[in-house]
Amino acid sequence: MSDNSSDPVAALAAVNARLKAATQRPVTLIAVTKTFAAERIAPVIAAGHRDFGENRVQEAEAKWPGLRVPGLRLHLIGPLQSNKAAEAVALFDVMHTVDRPKIAEKLAEEMTKQQRRLDCFIQVNTGLEPQKAGVLPADADAFIKACRDDWKLPVVGLMCIPPVGEEPSPHFAFLREIARRNGLDQLSMGMSDDFEIAAALGATHVRVGSAIFGARR
């Protein structure tokens, strides 16, 4: 995309400028740091950026305790195993991948135990992909209701990852519609290749990795 990839601070500024051009609304840019070492992330924190995303609890545990500064928000954007719920609640500030009863129940239990409340996004499998995480669209309303009423999770919005190789717009619009009918106003959608489209379609959070840090090995 650009050879800013050698300078993540410059690349982040470029992504922010593109976001501003795509929408007037404020959008939280989550800088996705999975696979990148602490030395590569530190300059971005020093430049004042505060929202970061990781997709694995174990990798985040190894990297983030040493990087944290006040006001930093760490977002879990990858699938959570229930045996990692305690670590996830201790380390992260926002969960983007709540997608099944077992995880919802475990998160609720850990938040109570640790006296921490993490904003929760429910992941929806908008493309009905068998291998992909996320609640199926047909089950989304009931699951959202259960997360709120049964497990008392602080549900703030929905998240999706459109199928690779498909036009993402219909998925973003579909997610927005499910959120609207459930009274949710936050949408975590859009990655390096499609964050401007997502922003134009109502994203409140975009998750951008390679456009900031360069290609992952």
Question: Using CB under 6 A as the criterion, which residues of the chain lie in contact with ligand PLP when the complex forms?
Answer: 32, 34, 55, 77-78, 161, 191-192, 207-211
Please state the closest distance from residue 33 (CB atom) to ligand PLP, in A: 9
Nearer CB in complex with ligand PLP: 109/119: 119
Nearer CB in complex with ligand PLP: 27/191: 191
Count of C-beta atoms within a 10 Å radius of residue 30: 28
Rounded to whole angstroms, the Cα distance separating 145 from 136 reads 14
Nearer CB in complex with ligand PLP: 44/77: 77
Q: Which residue has the tokens 């904003």?
A: 119
* Ramachandran sector of residue 200 (left: φ over 0; alpha: ψ -120 to 50; beta: rest): alpha
Please state the closest distance from residue 213 (CB atom) to ligand PLP, in A: 8
Please state the closest distance from residue 112 (CB atom) to ligand PLP, in A: 27
Handedness of CA 97, 126, 197, 209 (dihedral sign): positive
Amino acid residing at 142: A
Please state the closest distance from residue 38 (CB atom) to ligand PLP, in A: 18
Nearer CB in complex with ligand PLP: 113/216: 216
Handedness of CA 134, 140, 142, 147 (dihedral sign): positive
Q: For ligand PLP, which residue has the nearest CB?
A: 209
Nearer CB in complex with ligand PLP: 78/137: 78
Nearer CB in complex with ligand PLP: 32/98: 32
Please state the closest distance from residue 94 (CB atom) to ligand PLP, in A: 13
Handedness of CA 192, 78, 131, 158 (dihedral sign): negative
Please state the closest distance from residue 188 (CB atom) to ligand PLP, in A: 8
Rounded to whole angstroms, the Cα distance separating 154 from 121 reads 9
Take residue 73 and report the two structure tokens written for it: 């928000």
Rounded to whole angstroms, the Cα distance separating 43 from 57 reads 22
Question: 193 with 162: CB under 8 angstroms?
Answer: no
